[in-house]
Structure 1
């Protein structure tokens, strides 16, 4: 599988779900592991002015990836706050229950465990045994950060056992569906969408409880208080 194919598939999944995303009216969108910035930039562009007031944030453990993402955002005239950190380390308490849309293209390639998290480009794909080492760290963090109406879009391979991932999320109260599936001779790639399933609970809104509102300036204020993190702002704030 070409390393670009997964990013293209994730963006195609977001495009396929664009009408739903616009109706969803997300307040806070987040990408974990932004890499080149292609996905978070594409999300900001496809929602555009129709999702006025949406706030974008992206993280990556690799400072070089954060710099490249900044350039991608600037080149397309869109805005996001970028943070150099592992997954969402240092942000969990401040962003708990606030993320309406999370996109993740994790390191998913099965590799020896000692390759996971190494410096350099290998960290972008090394996923450890069954390619699940990083995925299994991300899922509980996503559960904590996402709002009651939060949607998670995640790339997986067949080798990651996506059915087991869906079952694991089901136990946390999430429904799921495959938005995009791509196959090559070697592997099959899936983009799975997860959302909290309130069907069995008596709620007045099909999306669950009313989303927490993030007032203007609150995220910036919170992030500026996070010690030890590189907090960079890029893009044209007027284009939000």
Structure 2
């Protein structure tokens, strides 16, 4: 079993501004661990986490890959999250490069068809659209969960960029809940971008039915 990254350096004050790892985080870690051998065999050049929060997921990917030449990039709209991600990388000896950005806005052209591991645990909780828009504008912890209509407001924006980002061997891991209409997401990505997909893990966590989708060419 691959150990969960050490987060002992993060404080309660950090978690007032940054999403604390929870069941959605841990099912994503489990899905990545399930694919660990395949991810290592890819010898990925670039790993990109969108909405990195605490930095737990990118650090876990770095632990899976071990010593490598992989470039670990992580974006978040929340300045405190970028700081936490950098600190978590240092705590776990993973050289993560955090970037304060809305999704992949400043990186999209430079990373065209270059990302081997793409990971997104989006704000997926269905809310009023205005609530999601406010959360993205204020760039606080609310932006980690307020997903707008059907919980898909932010996810929809990224789905249109995935094909541009993924390398020929690239894999995209997405956290979703049942209310997001997972079959519709899969069909959309198949029809528009010819990306095949699998639900690699699903789990109940309280009232949430969590799923991890994996997309690849």
Does TM-score exceed 0.5, indicating one fold?
Answer: yes
2:205 is the alignment partner of 1:187: no
Residue 124 of structure 1 is matched in structure 2 by 144
Matches for 1:7-86 after TM superposition, within 5 Å: 7-49=25-67, 52-86=68-102
Secondary structure of the equivalent of 2:66? helix
Matches for 1:73-152 after TM superposition, within 5 Å: 73-116=89-132, 117-119=136-138, 120-152=140-172
Query: Post-superposition, which runs of at least 4 consecutive aligned residues in structure 1 deviate over 6 A?
Result: none
Residue 30 of structure 1: how far off its partner (Å): 0.5
Contact in 1 for aligned 2:175/2:210 (Cα 8 Å): yes
Q: Which has the higher contact order (CA 8 A, sep 6+)?
A: 1
Structure 2 gap ranges (5+): 1-19
Match of 2:194 among 154, 158, 173: 173
Whole-Å separation in 2 of the counterparts to 1:47 and 1:3: 21
Secondary structure of the equivalent of 1:56? strand
2:180 is the alignment partner of 1:164: no
The structure with the larger Rg is: 1
TM (norm. structure 1) is 0.78
Residue 184 of structure 1: how far off its partner (Å): 3.3
Q: Alignment length, in residue pairs?
A: 193
Q: Per-residue CA shift, 1:50-72, capped at 9, x if unaligned?
A: xx211110100110100111111
Secondary structure of the equivalent of 1:144? helix
Contact in 2 for aligned 1:115/1:123 (Cα 8 Å): no
Residue 20 of structure 1: how far off its partner (Å): 0.9
Q: Per-residue CA shift, 1:36-60, capped at 9, x if unaligned?
A: 10000110111112xx211110100
TM (norm. structure 2) is 0.86
Secondary structure of the equivalent of 2:199? strand
